Structure 1
C-alpha cells in the first residue's frame, strides 16, 4: 500500500476554557464590583495592561466578560491582537514598563493555547512555539518588560503545563527575565455570583452521539478519579450555576480529521466497520502519534469515512464528546464562597 501524499489535520474547535457566561449586564452598563471579591493585583492597577487575545463566537461571551472584568478594574484593555508576535510588537512601542501584563486566551489540555504564534500562523503549542523561538521568527522584547514584570496568562490549565509555560516565558525574555504566572485551574469569567473565579476541571468522554448515559459516565468518573468525593451523577446532570460554588458540568466536542491521497483508487482500503477504521488509524504512525498527544483513546471517538474515487482520496473523521465537571475553588477560610483569584496565592497560581 503506497500513499502518494498524507495530509494530517487536527481541528480543535472545542470549548474548554470557553464556557458561555451566565452573567449578564445590560448593554452599555458598567458594574463596579467589590474589590475583595475580584482583585488580582491587590492595590496595584497602575502600569498594568490586559490583552484580550481572542473573540467570542456564537453564544459564547468569555472574552466579552473578561473585557468587562478588566475595564471595571480600571486596567487598560487592548483588543484585536490575536498572536504573540503582535502583542510583543505592541509592547515594543511602549513608553512605559509594565508591572502586570494580562493575556487572556482560551486553552485546553488537548491543543495548547488559542493565541497564535504569529498573525498568519498556528496556535501556540509546545512544538509550534519551540520551532518559532529556535528560528527566531518571533520579535525580541525590547520595551515594556523588565525583571519585575508579571506576565499573567489567563489560560485554563497553563499553570500545570510547565514546558509550554517556560517557552512562553522565554518569548518575553531578553536581557532580563520577567515572571510568568498562570493557574493550573479553569478560568471562568462572568459567573452568576462573581465575575471571575477558578475551578478544578474533571473530564470524561464518549463517542459523539453515543452517550452511555449519566449513570454509566458517573461510574467511569469514579474509576478515573477514585480519590475525589464528588457526586458525579448530580454534577453531570447539573448544567448551570444555581448556588454559589456549586459543582456543575458542560460538554464540548473534540474532532480530528485526516485525508489520504492514493496513486490509484484500487489502493484505497476497505474499512467497513468501526473496528476496521480504528485498526487502520492505529497502524498509521502520524495518526497514532496525534491521538497519543491528544490522550483520548481510539474507542472514545465516533469514526466515519468518505471515499472520493475521482480524487483518489480517503477521508477519516473522528469526533469525541467531552463532559467537563467544574468544581469551583472555595475560600479556605470562608466555605461556600469563592477563593479570590489573587496571583500572589501560590495555591491558585504557579510562578515560572
Structure 2
C-alpha cells in the first residue's frame, strides 16, 4: 500500500550594550600600552516575532509589545529559519549578537510553527535534520560572541532537548551559542503580569461533541490526580481573576490524511467513526501518529470518504488547555521571574 500523509495542523529598539574599557594610566615609558588600550566590542540583541495572529489570538502582538517596552530591536517579517539566518547575516554590521530571541508558537512534541525554509515544512527534529542534510539553509556567518545567547519563547519547547540540540548546531558559527527554552507555557500580556510562565494541562473531546464542564473536569481529575487545582472552576475561568488563578482556553486540532491505494478493491469503506477508529488500530503508522500527539483516537470527531483510489480521513479534536501561573513558593502573590538563565525554569544547552 502506497501512502501519503498530509500536514497535520493542530506556539531594547536596537539595544547596544556599550561597554567602554577603562584605559589604563598612561605609562610614558611603555609605548605598547598606548597602542593596546582595552576595548570591548559592541554587542546587539534582536527579537524575531516569527508568526502572526489568527482569529482572536493576540499572542504575537502581545509579545511584540512586551519586547518593544524592553527596547529590543524587533523583526516581525521573518517567518522561517531561512529568513532569520539570512537577516542575521545581512544586518550584523560587524557587531556580535549578544542575544537572539525567537518568539513562535509550538510545543515539545510538534515542534515549532516556524517554517524551516520559505513555504517549507514546519520546524521539527525530522524536518530540520532533512534541511541540514540537504543544505537547504544558509550558514550563519561569524556574527556571534563567545557568550551569545539564543532564546526560544515557545511553550514547552524546553522539554525537547533533542530539537534544541539540533537548533544549537544550526546556529553555531564562529562560536556556539547557549540555547534557552522553558519546559512550561510562556504567556504575554497577562491580567497582572505582562510576561509569565505557567504549568499547562490538557483535556480533549471530539469537536462539536462537548461532554459538558463537569465530565470534562472528571477527565482532568483522572489524568492529573496529584494536582491541587479546582478543575471545574478552572474550565469555567477564561482569565485570571486574581494573581495565580488557573484559567482555560480552547482550540481545535485538525487531522487530515489522504491515503492512496494501488487497487480500487483495496480502498476501505469507512462509514462511521467506529469503523475509522478500528482501521486506525489496524494501521500502525497512523496509530503512532496519534500516539506521538498524545491524544486518544476517541477524542476526535472522525469522517472519511473515497476519492478514486484514495480514502480521505478527517479528524478534529477540541483541546481544553488549563494554565496555572507559576508563583514564587515563598510569596504566592508574586510570579516567578522569567529570567531565561534560571535553570529552575528554563532548559539551558
- The two structures have a TM-score, normalised by structure 1, of 0.85
**Distance (whole Å) between structure 2 residues aligned to residue 297 and residue 147 of structure 1:** 45
Question: Cα deviation per residue 1:112-149 (whole Å; 9 max; x = unaligned)?
Answer: 10111111211111111122223332222113223300
Matching residue of 2:51: 54
Matching residue of 1:246: 245
Question: Cα deviation per residue 1:281-327 (whole Å; 9 max; x = unaligned)?
Answer: 2222432232222121111211111223xx34321111111111100
Equivalent residue runs for 1:109-188 within 5 Å: 109-188=108-187
Matching residue of 1:319: 316
Matching residue of 1:275: 274
What RMSD, in angstroms, separates the aligned Cα atoms of the two structures? 1.9
SS of the aligned residue for 1:227 comes to coil
Q: 1:347 aligns with which of 317, 340, 344?
A: 344
SS of the aligned residue for 1:278 comes to helix
Deviation at 1:214, TM superposition (A): 1.9
Matching residue of 1:328: 325
Equivalent residue runs for 1:224-263 within 5 Å: 224-263=223-262
Structure 2: gaps spanning 5 or more residues = 12-41
- Is contact 1:10–1:255 with CA below 8 Å preserved after alignment? no
Deviation at 1:111, TM superposition (A): 1.9
Deviation at 1:223, TM superposition (A): 1.8
**Distance (whole Å) between structure 1 residues aligned to residue 113 and residue 80 of structure 2:** 9
SS of the aligned residue for 2:85 comes to helix
**Distance (whole Å) between structure 2 residues aligned to residue 297 and residue 319 of structure 1:** 12
Deviation at 1:11, TM superposition (A): 2.3
Question: Cα deviation per residue 1:140-178 (whole Å; 9 max; x = unaligned)?
Answer: 211322330010000010111111111111111134211
- For this pair of structures, how many residues does the alignment match? 317
Deviation at 1:269, TM superposition (A): 1.9
Question: Cα deviation per residue 1:63-89 (whole Å; 9 max; x = unaligned)?
Answer: 111111111111110111011121111
**Distance (whole Å) between structure 2 residues aligned to residue 78 and residue 235 of structure 1:** 35
**Distance (whole Å) between structure 2 residues aligned to residue 176 and residue 134 of structure 1:** 21
Greater RCO (CA < 8 Å, at least 6 residues apart): 1
- Is contact 2:272–2:303 with CA below 8 Å preserved after alignment? no
Deviation at 1:265, TM superposition (A): 4.3
**Distance (whole Å) between structure 2 residues aligned to residue 175 and residue 85 of structure 1:** 18
With over 3 angstroms needed to count, the CA separation of the structure-2 counterparts of 1:46 and 1:199, relative to structure 1, is farther
Matching residue of 1:36: none
**Distance (whole Å) between structure 1 residues aligned to residue 262 and residue 159 of structure 2:** 45
**Distance (whole Å) between structure 2 residues aligned to residue 278 and residue 202 of structure 1:** 25
With over 3 angstroms needed to count, the CA separation of the structure-2 counterparts of 1:266 and 1:128, relative to structure 1, is same
User: Which aligned runs of 4 or more in structure 1 are off by greater than 6 angstroms?
Assistant: none
With over 3 angstroms needed to count, the CA separation of the structure-2 counterparts of 1:10 and 1:137, relative to structure 1, is closer
Higher mean alpha-carbon deviation, 281-290 vs 335-344, is at 281-290
Structure 1: gaps spanning 5 or more residues = 18-44
- Is contact 1:113–1:155 with CA below 8 Å preserved after alignment? yes
Question: Cα deviation per residue 1:241-296 (whole Å; 9 max; x = unaligned)?
Answer: 22222110111111111122345544432223322111112222432232222121
Matching residue of 2:215: 216
**Distance (whole Å) between structure 2 residues aligned to residue 340 and residue 70 of structure 1:** 15
Matching residue of 1:65: 62
**Distance (whole Å) between structure 2 residues aligned to residue 273 and residue 114 of structure 1:** 32
Matching residue of 2:36: none
**Distance (whole Å) between structure 2 residues aligned to residue 285 and residue 157 of structure 1:** 27
Matching residue of 1:24: none
Deviation at 1:183, TM superposition (A): 0.7
Matching residue of 1:39: none
**Distance (whole Å) between structure 1 residues aligned to residue 328 and residue 43 of structure 2:** 27
Matching residue of 1:91: 88
